[in-house]
Structure 1
């Protein structure tokens, strides 16, 4: 606690003209870009495999919305799922890796503020999430024609989802001290909440109890709002989805900023 407190002034006292955050952002972007085959191509391939398997089995048998085939319905869900999971993985793995390898100390010596750290890590997470999502979408054009009933909603929820998961990943990275703790967070929280958020189905097809539980899942609102941008149809109002996803982002961002300012688990 004493060491964490000693870090706090350094994370808060950054001059307004400091451009170090740009270098940190560039470093974080290059970190995943240099291994793009693993960080971008592999998630795209995984999403396409989901589309091929589920689309082959259920295409022609399920029509979730009137006039919307199952393959077309599946595309926005897979795109957003890829955005969410990869945005989280980027910020979480980067911070945990820096802790384990010991190079975090060099960042602690810089006059970067907590806000600069936040922008750099979350900005890189958004970049990776959107790149993977765009890659998934471009490949899925081979399986379903492009549709965009409300393009602005697509952009808003893509940015909102990537930002929210980037913040959650940063929060997980602050909490975790080793990779297995981060993996626990991802495997037991992020992945189940993503798969149970309506990626592969409409929640109206679920029994009443499960519908109620789905409404407690903030990931559902991001996916449902994103899907509304493609078809102009959704399970709940896109404004409700925007309010809940936006509120979740603000709460997590405020918490993460507080932990950064206090130096929570950044120096051991």
Structure 2
């Protein structure tokens, strides 16, 4: 609500409303925690088990570390990326398809508060998934965190970036088929082909150049550096690239929310 002077009575920022929206998004995925938290852990474990059985010790070392140790940060980051994207995209798309998006648009939220609320839920899910998988990796594989701060930074930035991309996908999609197409033909291939399972040093020069233009690569590479101390690029370069990508994506989200693009009739 606004006063006669055009200033919202609760101040310049609707802190309570934004926090409530974040809580709603968190409760939405926690209500089905077996699908949103446990399922990613099981999927990550299956990936590692399959690679262990199919390749085993004969694969040798990658960048000076055992292959399974090298693989673990990639699996963790890929899972975080997919879950952060799924949280915002499914939430917004579901609201549009069910026709209750008005319940979110009617309260006195600014565009920035809406974006913050949705992405806050994606960050919470991404961080929780990362913690669960990191604990599993430490207990069963002995893969710890050499530099926890770098892991935290790239998990947070990766969750923000993918939460923003999920918002863009959810705004753009008018039905679940369109959302599935975006996830299957864009997000999943980029996550798989960004150094999750290999060092980009194994790629031809042209593909290495393309990889260095992919923010997903820097997220995975940054988490790998923080967990096992090896990486294909400088974590500072990755920090700059991913931060810039976050600013661009969040800016697009803010703009689309502000004008109601594909949200208002």
On the 8 A contact 1:174/1:265 being kept in 2, the answer is yes
1:178-236, CA deviations, whole angstroms, 9 ceiling, x for partnerless residues?
A: 11111111111100000001111111112222222222221001100111112222101
Residue 253 (structure 2) aligned to one of 242, 256, 260: 256
SS in 2 for 1:98: helix
Normalising by the residue count of structure 2, what TM-score does the alignment of the two structures yield? 0.92
Is the counterpart of residue 16 in structure 1 residue 12 in structure 2?
Answer: yes
Report the Cα distance in structure 2 between the residues aligned to 1:213 and 1:235, rounded to whole angstroms.
14
Task: Give the 5 Å matches for 1:128-167.
Answer: 128-167=125-164
* More displaced 10-residue stretch of structure 1: 233-242 or 202-211: 202-211
On the 8 A contact 1:203/1:211 being kept in 2, the answer is: yes
Deviation at 1:13, TM superposition (A): 7.7
Alignment partner of 1:205 out of 199, 202, 206: 202
Q: Is 2:188 the counterpart of 1:191?
A: yes
Instruction: Call closer, same or farther: CA 1:17–1:261 in 2, change over 3 Å.
Output: closer
Unaligned runs of 5+ in 1: 1-11
Is 1:65 the equivalent of 2:63? yes
Q: State the 1:148 CA deviation.
A: 2.5
- Deviating runs (4+, > 6 A) in structure 1? none
TM-score, scaled to structure 1: 0.91
Q: Does 1:82 align with 2:79?
A: yes
**Contact kept? 2:143, 2:228, Cα under 8 Å:** no
Contact 1:91/1:125 (8 A) holds in 2: yes
Question: Which of 1 and 2 has higher RCO (CA within 8 Å, sep 6+)?
Answer: 1
Does the aligned pair in 1 maintain the 2:69–2:228 contact within 8 Å?
no
Structure 2 equivalent of residue 266 of structure 1: 263
Root mean square deviation, CA, Å: 1.6
Residue 59 (structure 1) shift:
3.1
1:79–1:134 CA contact under 8 A, matched in 2:
no
Q: SS state of the match for residue 50, structure 1? A: helix
Report the Cα distance in structure 2 between the residues aligned to 1:100 and 1:230, rounded to whole angstroms: 40
Alpha-carbon distance between aligned partners in 1 of 2:255 and 2:36, rounded to the nearest angstrom:
29
SS of residue in 2 equivalent to 1:120? helix
